[in-house]
Every structure is written in C-alpha cells, then in structure tokens.
Amino acid sequence: MALAVRAHSSLCDCVWLTRTSRIGHADKFDHGMDHGCCTGAAGFGSGLGGLATWVWRNPARPWRRGASMGAALLAVGCAAFAIVGLTGLYRLEAPRRGAAAPLPRATLPTDVAHGERLAYLCVRCHSTSGNLPLSGGQRDFLWSPERRLGELYAPNLTPAGTIASWSDGEVGRAIREGADSAGRPLLGHPASDYKVMSDGDVTALIGYLRAQQRVPSATPSRTINLLGVLLIGIGQFPVSVESPVVDPSSTPSLGRTPERGRYLVAISGCRDCHGTDLQGGPQQFPPDLIAIAAAWTDAEFVQTLRTGKNPLGGAVGPQMPW
C-alpha cells in the first residue's frame, strides 16, 4: 500500500506543480509547468511500476495479473509522457551554439540600400503594414480555433527591438541558422531558406536593420504550452534551427544567369509553396512557375511579382508575398 500512496502522491505533485508554476510564468515560457508535469509524470510512473511489482508478487490476490498489467501500462504511459516532454523542452530551450562568429558591418550607402531590398523578404511577418520598417507583427502564428499551443509573434527588428543588443554575428546567426543570441532555437523562422544567403547579403541586410528608423513597438514574448512542448518532443512541431554556417559564402554575380536565379529562388522561399521542382501543387494551386515563366514575358513576370496583378487581369492571392 505504501507504493500505491507513493504513486498517488506523485500524481498530486504533478497537478500542484502545474497549477503553481503557471502563475509564476504566465508571461513567459512555462518552464515550471512543463518541467513539473514531466517530472511528476516520471514520479507517478515510477510509483505505478513499484505498485505493479508488488501486486504481481502477492500470491494472495487472484486479480494480481490484470491489476499488475494495468499498472504497468500506466507506468509506461507516464514514462513516455515524461520522455516526450523533456525531449521537447530540450529541443526548445537547450543552447546549441557557442559564440557567434563576427561579421563585418555594412557602412556603405550602397550596401544599406541593397539590404533594404532584401528586407522586403521579412515584411510579411515582421510588419503590420506589409511594408518597411520591420516594427514587428500583430499576428499570433500559433493561434488556431481547434487548439492552443501558445503565442508566437514576429518581433520588432528595428533598433528599438531586441536585436539592438545583439552583435552583428548573433543577428546573422539568427537569420541563417535559426538560433537566438543565446544559441536557443527560433520557431517559425525560415532559416532553411536563408541558410544559403551569402555573407555579403547577410551583412547588407543587417546594415539596413541597424539603419532603420527606431519604432518602439512591443510584441508579446513567445510562450509555448504543454501541448506545444509535447508536439515539439515528437517532431510534429519543428524548431527552426539549422546546422552552423562555417564556410564563406559569396553572392552570385548580378545578371540573368541560372546561378543568380537559383539563388533568388532559394532565399525567397519559392519552393516552400510551389514545390521543389517549382511546378506547383494539385489542381494547379499553387501554380506551375515553370509553365508561367515560359508563357509570360519578362516584364509580365516582374510586374506580377511586384504588384500582385497578373497579365490576365487577376490578382495574386494573399499567400504570395508580393
């Protein structure tokens, strides 16, 4: 019976930790809640395992086999819950980087102007107006009417935001590797696209971020609840971290070359929607870019990208970051 009391006590500890820790970390990542649930589940599972052993070894109880199996299954479930939760916490919070490699600062006006053009890649998330400056978004990327995973807003990237205290190397690492100034993974950031961004383009982009007008616009801190942590733990909610960029990366030369076009397609994230072969999806949505490029003139293609109006008179949908 002492083992049964131990199991019940562990479950109570889990519930208590969940309730008290949420109060203490309501405006941050719920460290106490999720760590408490995971450790409480582990303790509960340990108690159930001991209970199952005691029941199995007690010859005076004819029901011992069924009860032992039930307790054992519950113990395995609690252990799995704890393992998945702790895995999610590790993937989300454990620093995976050393010091960020330094980057030269862009000081020439031409470099900053080039960085401004690149910054339009960021306006869809980091701006409320769909234009510069990048003062932060107001869309919660984790909001869903079906389930709540927490809150995730694109932060303010002007000199009034968090990156003002980061080094250029740390900002560059965030852009290309998806890790913050402490080396922890970002969420929802397209580092898989930006990883191929050249050193020169990253430097120019950072130069523009530093040169933007200061916009004091605060966005809510990232919060991930227990369900979100579990989904991260089983790999259904991936973090944005990429392997370190260690080799120098040069920008393809300007001009109408396949190399330049391939580079622009990569950093613009075209394949994220239009497929790895750029031939679109089912029922021609998203559309086949290869067929469109062959049918339209260069001027028509450029106009569609920049205005959202195609040469047939139709409007590009809001999914397209034109």
User: pLDDT value at position 1?
Assistant: 37
Per-residue pLDDT for 2 more than 50? no
pLDDT-derived band at 24, boundaries 50, 70, 90: very low
Q: Are 202 and 195 in contact (CB under 8 A)?
A: no
Tell me the pLDDT tens digit for each residue of 71-116. Answer: 677 778 888 888 998 999 999 988 877 889 999 988 899 999 999 9
**Across 131-137, average pLDDT:** 95
| Range name among 28-37, 116-125, 126-135, 200-209 with the lowest pLDDT average | 28-37
Q: Are 28 and 220 in contact (CB under 8 A)?
A: no
Chain centroid to Cα 302, Å, comes to 31
Per-residue pLDDT for 16 more than 70? no
Per-residue pLDDT for 262 more than 80? yes
Task: Say which residue, 35 or 1, is predicted with more confidence.
Answer: 35
State in Å, rounded, how far the first CA of the chain is from the last one.
Answer: 67
User: pLDDT value at position 177?
Assistant: 96
Sequence ranges of the domains in the chain: 2-93, 109-233, 269-307
pLDDT-derived band at 312, boundaries 50, 70, 90: confident
Tell me the pLDDT tens digit for each residue of 150-169. Answer: 999 999 999 999 999 999 99
The percent of residues above 90 in pLDDT, for the chain, comes to 56
CA distance 236 to 165: 32
Per-residue pLDDT for 10 more than 90? no
Residue 150: other Cβ atoms inside 10 A: 19
Task: Say which residue, 7 or 207, is predicted with more confidence.
Answer: 207
CA distance 283 to 285: 6
User: pLDDT value at position 190?
Assistant: 95
- Those residues with Cβ within 8 angstroms of residue 104's Cβ, 6 or more apart along the chain or in another chain: 168, 203
pLDDT-derived band at 44, boundaries 50, 70, 90: very low
Tell me the pLDDT tens digit for each residue of 193-243. Answer: 999 999 999 999 999 999 999 999 889 999 999 999 999 999 998 899 999
CA distance 200 to 203: 5
Task: Say which residue, 180 or 9, is predicted with more confidence.
Answer: 180
Please provide the CATH number assigned to the domain covering 109-233: 1.10.760
User: pLDDT value at position 73?
Assistant: 77
User: pLDDT value at position 5?
Assistant: 34
Per-residue pLDDT for 244 more than 90? yes
User: pLDDT value at position 130?
Assistant: 86
pLDDT-derived band at 319, boundaries 50, 70, 90: confident
